[in-house]
A and B are shown apart, each in its own frame.
Chain A
Amino acid sequence: MGAATPTSYTDQIVYTDEVAEFSPEVVEEMRSHLAKYPADRSRSALIPLLFVIQRERGYVDNAGVNFLARFLNLEVTDVWETATFYSMFNLRKVGRHHIQICKTLSCKIMGEPDITDHICSKLGIHPGETTVDGKFTVSLVECLGSCGTAPMMQIGFDYHEDLTIEKVDRILENCD
């Protein structure tokens, strides 16, 4: 194969038959999601369960997807079909702290470009990249519903709003 730039993350996935294993507590948590939907509609739990896979495995990986296919009695391709549609599912490893900076209009006009430049130069990476120590990934994302407190970013699931350069520095220092 040549050295062409992959067109998507899915090009980099190695598909094997490996099936992930989870602790009884995590399996119990997964069952609690299933309980919300009619018994013959367990596929409804797929997105919430993909979040569990992502939390436990670090990203939505091949072995985790194989587990979910068995757990929900779906084809492996059914799970990938859904997992590859949604932007919050990481299909490859990301840093321990996933910094997602909102780039949509209100944040853009309220200073997002300066925040992005500062974070990227401080970490020595571009948007879409992960630091070599695996600590941080920076992504630019679309509107996170925090326009009144722009500019803002989300790290993991946490919102950080009304950002200034000084505030960003403090937040990054507190990331262990």
Chain B
Amino acid sequence: MEIKAIGCEPLSLKRVHIENGHTLKVYRETGGYKSLEKAFGMTQDAIIQEVKDSSLRGRGGAGFPTGMKWSFVPRDSPKPKYVVCNADESEPGSFKDRYLLERDPHALIEGMVIAGFALGASTGYIYYRGEYNYLIGVMDAALKEAREAGLLGENILGSGFSMDIHTHTGAGAYICGEETALLSSLEGFRGHPRMKPPFPAVEGLYACPTIVNNVETLTSVPQIIEMGGIAWRDLGTEKSGGTKLWSISGHVKKPGVYELPMGYADMEKFIMEDCGGMLRSDKKLKAVIPGGSSVYIMNAGQILGKGVTLDYEGLVEAGSMLGTGGMMVMDETVDIMESTKNLTEFYKHESCGWCTPCREGTDWLVKIFDRIAAGGGKPTDAQLLLDICDNIEGKSFCPLGDAAAWPIQSAIKQFPDDFKKWIAGKTNGNGAH
């Protein structure tokens, strides 16, 4: 598996190949904690302004502007404030945060302390997905090093600011990547999402002002403070600032984690050249899910020769979304209705059961897929699936419902032939099964 930057100097991936890059010694030797020192010499407003200027948008999938999120925190609130890192990476196709957590833990600590200082938060939690349990030891060791070096705890670097950070683990629930469900889980409850508003920035963890940011988002913060928000933004495009980590999997020769400047041109070159092209050279590209399983699937015709730029706007224009940047590449052997069934089973399993449209809807979608797969397809099934999707999309309590509907809606639209074959009981028989 490849881990490298293309078209830019590695920023998020700066230390992943350096021996002992996870240690404080190497982190400091490579410029680490300089941004924190710089931040302590700035005002809280100035730090938030740099993050706003950077155009950094949440790297966990939703793409919400980070600086704006930070500005929603009522800093004069008498309540304690919290910075929570969302390390519940569980979007199918996404695996970038894992490598940051494993190989550059101090970058996350530094980003969280800068965020804590800017927002007046004295406690941080890193919420790991339970399956990443094996990574927590790396972070606990890094936190211990930071405490011993005065980079966490009381009066950090003589600034008068105090903060500590703790690791916490979930236990296998995709829904906990949704920020309010994550907070429910962090409080020891079932991972059910909460009504918004109030937003976590106002009433989050323990009903106190809380910022929840993805790992890659927070590790970008020291880069932004070091370079300045505008300079960081200009690595990418005006609306999609900076660089982005892409997780590539499926039928390419060189899957992996790639750091690209936002606005990278173009998607075809990325897949066919940078990622080594199709895994089996005699098989054609059929489909790509560009941003994790929750975004619209694209057919080859939407990509090849279309000059799709890899940024938020470019992928929307091309008919999908950037999401987490978890790109799944499929060649012509994959039956798209089989692959869509697979993802629908995922959403059914991960629906938290809180609201009816998502809980019942995903269950019925799987029942229909199962019936069709067993040879009982009917000509009206495409419309039936779309009707159910229509009754989930926009009507569920949290975005998981939308995420379950979009793969089906886009698959039926972009791959009508696969679906027709399926219903007629004539699958090509060599796809995902």
**Complex interface residues of chain A between 102 and 120 (CB less than 8 A to chain B):** 103-106, 108-110, 113
Interface centre among A89, A105, A157, A158 (most CB of B within 10 A): A105
Contacts of A37 in B (CB 8 A): 166
Q: A109-B251, A147-B95, A148-B95 are in contact. Are A87 and B172 (CB under 8 A)?
A: yes
Question: Would you call B20 an interface residue if the criterion is a C-beta within 8 Å of the partner chain's C-beta atoms?
Answer: no
Q: Please state if B330 and A43 are interface contacts (CB–CB under 8 Å).
A: no
Question: Would you call A46 an interface residue if the criterion is a C-beta within 8 Å of the partner chain's C-beta atoms?
Answer: yes
Complex Cα distance, B129 from A37, in Å, reads 18
Contacts of B427 in A (CB 8 A): none
**Complex interface residues of chain B between 117 and 138 (CB less than 8 A to chain A):** 125, 129-134
Contacts of A110 in B (CB 8 A): 249-251
User: Of the candidates A38, A82, A103, A105, which one forms a contact with B339 in the assembled complex, judged by CB atoms under 8 Å apart?
Assistant: A105
Q: Please state if B187 and A85 are interface contacts (CB–CB under 8 Å).
A: no
Complex Cα distance, B130 from A50, in Å, reads 11
Q: Please state if A158 and B250 are interface contacts (CB–CB under 8 Å).
A: no
User: Of the candidates B131, B168, B247, which one forms a contact with A36 in the assembled complex, judged by CB atoms under 8 Å apart?
Assistant: B168
Contacts of B431 in A (CB 8 A): 109
Question: Would you call A131 an interface residue if the criterion is a C-beta within 8 Å of the partner chain's C-beta atoms?
Answer: no
User: Chain A: interface secondary structure?
Assistant: mixed
User: Of the candidates B91, B132, B171, B289, which one forms a contact with A87 in the assembled complex, judged by CB atoms under 8 Å apart?
Assistant: B171
Q: Please state if A88 and B130 are interface contacts (CB–CB under 8 Å).
A: yes
**Complex interface residues of chain B between 185 and 231 (CB less than 8 A to chain A):** 185-191, 206
Question: Would you call A10 an interface residue if the criterion is a C-beta within 8 Å of the partner chain's C-beta atoms?
Answer: no
Q: Please state if A88 and B171 are interface contacts (CB–CB under 8 Å).
A: yes
User: Of the candidates B91, B129, B134, B249, which one forms a contact with A150 in the assembled complex, judged by CB atoms under 8 Å apart?
Assistant: B249
Interface code A59-84, partner B: CB below 8 Å = 1, 0 otherwise?
Answer: 00000000000000000000001100
Question: Would you call B144 an interface residue if the criterion is a C-beta within 8 Å of the partner chain's C-beta atoms?
Answer: no
User: Of the candidates A113, A145, A158, which one forms a contact with B95 in the assembled complex, judged by CB atoms under 8 Å apart?
Assistant: A145
Interface size class of B (residues with CB under 8 A): 35 or more
Q: Please state if B432 and A108 are interface contacts (CB–CB under 8 Å).
A: yes
Question: Would you call B271 an interface residue if the criterion is a C-beta within 8 Å of the partner chain's C-beta atoms?
Answer: no
Q: Please state if B191 and A148 are interface contacts (CB–CB under 8 Å).
A: no
Q: Please state if A44 and B187 are interface contacts (CB–CB under 8 Å).
A: yes
Question: Would you call B374 an interface residue if the criterion is a C-beta within 8 Å of the partner chain's C-beta atoms?
Answer: no
Question: Would you call A170 an interface residue if the criterion is a C-beta within 8 Å of the partner chain's C-beta atoms?
Answer: no
Complex Cα distance, B349 from A146, in Å, reads 19
Nearest to A45 among chain B residues (CB) is: B188
Contacts of B352 in A (CB 8 A): 85
Question: Would you call A26 an interface residue if the criterion is a C-beta within 8 Å of the partner chain's C-beta atoms?
Answer: no
Q: Please state if B247 and A48 are interface contacts (CB–CB under 8 Å).
A: no
Q: A104-B346, A105-B343, A109-B334 are in contact. Are A143 and B191 (CB under 8 A)?
A: no
Question: Would you call A154 an interface residue if the criterion is a C-beta within 8 Å of the partner chain's C-beta atoms?
Answer: yes
Nearest to A147 among chain B residues (CB) is: B249
User: Of the candidates A89, A113, A143, which one forms a contact with B433 in the assembled complex, judged by CB atoms under 8 Å apart?
Assistant: A113
Q: Please state if A88 and B255 are interface contacts (CB–CB under 8 Å).
A: no
Q: Please state if B131 and A144 are interface contacts (CB–CB under 8 Å).
A: yes
Nearest to B80 among chain A residues (CB) is: A38
Question: Would you call B402 an interface residue if the criterion is a C-beta within 8 Å of the partner chain's C-beta atoms?
Answer: no
Complex Cα distance, B251 from A62, in Å, reads 46
**Complex interface residues of chain A between 140 and 165 (CB less than 8 A to chain B):** 141-150, 154, 157-159, 162
Complex Cα distance, B189 from A105, in Å, reads 29
User: Of the candidates A36, A44, A50, which one forms a contact with B171 in the assembled complex, judged by CB atoms under 8 Å apart?
Assistant: A50
Q: A85-B190, A105-B339, A145-B94 are in contact. List 18 more A-B contacts (CB 8 A).
A: A41-B206, A44-B187, A82-B188, A85-B173, A86-B173, A88-B172, A89-B172, A104-B343, A105-B328, A108-B339, A110-B250, A141-B172, A142-B349, A144-B131, A145-B131, A147-B92, A147-B328, A150-B255
Q: Which residues in B have some Cβ–Cβ distance to A below 8 Å?
A: 1, 80, 89-95, 97-98, 125, 129-134, 166, 168-174, 185-191, 206, 247-251, 255-257, 289, 293, 326, 328, 330, 334, 339, 342-343, 346, 349-350, 352, 431-433
For the complex of A and B, the 8 pairs showing the least CB-CB separation, nearest first, are A86-B171, A147-B249, A43-B188, A46-B188, A88-B172, A87-B172, A85-B190, A36-B166
Q: Which residues in A have some Cβ–Cβ distance to B below 8 Å?
A: 36-38, 41, 43-48, 50-51, 81-82, 85-89, 103-106, 108-110, 113, 141-150, 154, 157-159, 162
The contact sample of 13 A-B pairs, CB cut-off 8 A, is: A45-B188, A88-B131, A103-B342, A104-B293, A105-B328, A110-B250, A142-B90, A142-B350, A147-B93, A147-B95, A147-B328, A150-B250, A157-B131
